[in-house]
Amino acid sequence: MFDAIGEGFADRAREATIVNISLYRSSHRWFSMVGKDQPSVHNVHFIPDRKDAEVDHGATILDAALRAGIAIDAVCGGDGKCGRCKVRPVGKFSASTSDLLTDEETRSGIVLACRTEVEGDLTVEVLPRSRIGMHQILTSSIAEVPRPVTPWTRKESVQLPPATIWDNVADLERLWRIFGQSDIPIPLESLKMLPDAIRTGNWNVTVTLSKVDSKDEITRVEPGNTKERHYGMAVDIGTTTIVAELVDLISGDVVGTGSDYNRQISRGEDVIARMMYSEDGGGVELRTLVTETINSLISRLVQGESASCGCQMSGEDIVAASIAGNTVMTHLFLGLPTKQLRLEPYVPAAHHTGYLKASEVGLHVNPSARVMLFPCRAGYVGGDVIADVLASGLHKSSKLSLLIDVGTNGEIVLGKNDWMGACSCSAGPAFEGGEVSSGMRAMEGAIDRIRINDDLSTSYHVLGGERPVGVCGSGLIDLVAEMYDHGIIDRKARIQNIASKRIRPSEGGMEYVVEMKENLSEGALHDITVTDADLQNLLRTKAAIYGACSTLMRKMSESWERVSSIIIAGGFGYHLDIGRAVMIGMFPDVPQEKYRFIGNGALGGARLALLSEEKRREMMRIFDKMTYFELSVDNDFYNEFASSLFIPHTDLGRFPSASKEKRSEAEVEG
């Protein structure tokens, strides 16, 4: 497992966070408002990025950062509720007070970007912890594409008999005649291009046909023979990050990959915050932000391909797009309302929206290109999970498999070739760096692996190799396991009162010092610690995941012995030490060789569906066969969850390997 460390893989972090705070936007202002004689536009200069933004007087620093293209963390969508967007501005500004800032921070000139209005030219230092770093987003996937590839588009080069006064049938019908098929639909956008294309190509044209619902339609007509240039796109719309692949639809090869943060992120980090922002009138803005993100990726991919193939490629050349996203991301991308999805009984507007036209959804590919979105099974089991399954092959095996996509929401699928059960658990953002005092995402500065030495000091690995800033999900799992192993915490994850300079009282309990302030990155104000409160959050998170897995097993009357493989999807797996995750009772205690990682299953699944008719049929079969279980109202789940609020579990018999290890240690000590 340590092989992957330091290669820069990182958490995709595209799932939902349930944050227990009110997210409604506040228009409350604490300080004085703008005078009439003030200049109305100011420059905000961000360091160390050296990026600038021009904003109106009274705009917030968060707005300025968004404009400058700097990703500042703002879980709450800029409502002053999460305290994540800490910055240090110099110049004329007006900041609101906040309980989320310590006295020390306030003394150091630190403010919340979302609560600070620009009143003059500013220089703003973005603190490391507030920054959504440019860590490498997980783009790889193991999915294999069946050959020859069968995208839903095909290109045909045809020679038309030139029109004469005796044969002046219309251009479209002339084309139909060649195909021996009348009434092949053509979108208006493509029809507009037809007459010129035919004449520019001197009656030789290349037609791109799309097969939609078993029926051909004309997507594009180009002059001359362009059969060798045929492009499509696979996209994973994550809540946090978006990954897009440019795919050669002849060879099936990925010719370019691009990824970026979902620009919606500064309007709320998790799906709940986004839905509320959308319902509060921000739907169009969120839709624009996500399409802008994808369109900028398209533009980069197209430029890259133009350079590498020495040709003049444009977005128009992309004639098909396959997109997987969770249910909320799918809704926001399509501009569908989300209120009925957010509130019980969590009803999507549609499970499957079919093949939409690019012009309808706003993507800068060929306007007549069909854009296929993966169907969403339920509010919290979306197209990304269907894509995960498709990429994993779970649906084709006659043996039982369990698929776990761990993020803020854990999504779990149990099944085989003839049935599948799926559920989602609101794991909470602990593994994404939320609700844990020193937690952070898997990015530069994050401790992703940690060992506790006998003197209770620590050895650790930091992503990016520099000094640590905080601890990411895999590091936290290691930490809990190590603390338990060293007797620092008991089975209920309570810190024991051990005589050590690393263990000390903190607000509302004890805390363990992972690393001292002086060893951290410059400007750090606190030690990295883990508190009793943090540990309870982590315990709840792992209990939710294991509880959901075992509830699903119980629903399906299955036992762990019958599970032939456990598939971990998403970037989380790349950092994870499965042994430790089993030791704390987060993952089931089955032989480790049964675990396998598929990486970015959403992207892999999207690519498979783009390239293979068989895989598109499988996608629909997965959707049809999948039964969704709503755990939020399930008593079995609450029992399983409660039993899991121990390390590793109330029932030690479920974790024989973990318990055995612990027992043998106890015997030695005893």
Rounded to whole angstroms, the Cα distance separating 116 from 106 reads 13
Cis bond upstream, residue 148 (ω within 30): yes
Nearest approach, Cβ of residue 339 and its own copies (Å): 7
Q: What is the CA radius of gyration of the chain?
A: 27
DSSP for 201-237, please give it.
TTTEEEEEEEEETTEEEEEEEEES--TT--EEEEEEE
Nearest approach, Cβ of residue 361 and its own copies (Å): 7
Site for its own copies in 355-374 (CB under 8 A): 356, 360-361
Nearest approach, Cβ of residue 336 and its own copies (Å): 6
Of 186 and 233, which CB lies nearer to its own copies in the complex structure? 186
Q: Name the 3-class secondary structure at 605.
A: helix
Rounded to whole angstroms, the Cα distance separating 427 from 668 reads 36
Nearest approach, Cβ of residue 477 and its own copies (Å): 32
Of the listed pieces 83-91, 564-572, 586-594, 630-638, which binds its own copies according to CB under 8 A?
Answer: 630-638
Of 170 and 311, which CB lies nearer to its own copies in the complex structure? 170
Single out the residue of 109, 148, 161, 354 in contact with its own copies (rule: CB under 8 A). Answer: 354
Do the beta carbons of residue 255 and residue 235 sit within 8 Å? no
The dihedral built from the CA positions of residue 507, 513, 515 and 517, taken in this order, carries a sign that is: positive
Structure tokens at 337: 């309302």
Nearest approach, Cβ of residue 172 and its own copies (Å): 4
Of 6 and 223, which CB lies nearer to its own copies in the complex structure? 223
| Interaction mask 167-206, its own copies, x per CB under 8 A | xxxxxxxx--------x-xxxx--xx-xxx--x-------
| Strand order across the beta sheet in which 409-415 lies | 595-599, 563-569, 400-406, 409-415, 420-426, 626-629
Of the listed pieces 19-27, 68-76, 347-355, 590-598, which binds its own copies according to CB under 8 A?
Answer: 347-355
- Residue 392: name the closest of 137, 141, 138, 139 by CA: 141
Site for its own copies in 145-164 (CB under 8 A): 163-164
Nearest approach, Cβ of residue 349 and its own copies (Å): 5
Q: Label residue 296 left, alpha or beta by phi (over 0 means left) and psi (-120 to 50 means alpha).
A: alpha
Of the listed pieces 122-130, 349-357, 451-459, 601-609, which binds its own copies according to CB under 8 A?
Answer: 349-357
Site for its own copies in 272-311 (CB under 8 A): none
Rounded to whole angstroms, the Cα distance separating 601 from 392 reads 7
Of the listed pieces 74-82, 491-499, 529-537, 626-634, which binds its own copies according to CB under 8 A?
Answer: 626-634
Of 32 and 182, which CB lies nearer to its own copies in the complex structure? 182
Nearest approach, Cβ of residue 425 and its own copies (Å): 15
Q: Strands, E, within 339-457: which ranges?
A: 355-357, 370-373, 400-406, 409-415, 420-426, 446-452
Helices (H), 57-140: 61-68, 103-107
Binding-site size, its own copies (CB under 8 A): 50
The angle formed by the CA atoms of residues 554, 558 and 561, to the nearest 5 degrees, is: 125
- Residue 475: name the closest of 494, 444, 452, 447 by CA: 447
Rounded to whole angstroms, the Cα distance separating 146 from 250 reads 13
Single out the residue of 6, 120, 304, 335 in contact with its own copies (rule: CB under 8 A). Answer: 335
Nearest approach, Cβ of residue 539 and its own copies (Å): 27
Single out the residue of 101, 126, 276, 334 in contact with its own copies (rule: CB under 8 A). Answer: 334
Q: What is the dihedral of CA 535, 424, 649, 432, to 10 degrees?
A: -20
Of 339 and 562, which CB lies nearer to its own copies in the complex structure? 339
Of 196 and 490, which CB lies nearer to its own copies in the complex structure? 196
Residue 217 in contact with its own copies, rule: CB under 8 A: no
| Interaction mask 631-650, its own copies, x per CB under 8 A | -xx-----------------
Beta bridge partner(s), residue 451: 459
Single out the residue of 223, 337, 393, 579 in contact with its own copies (rule: CB under 8 A). Answer: 337
Residues that bind its own copies (CB under 8 A): 163-174, 183, 185-188, 191-192, 194-196, 199, 213, 334-337, 339-340, 344-354, 356, 360-361, 376, 378-379, 630, 632-633
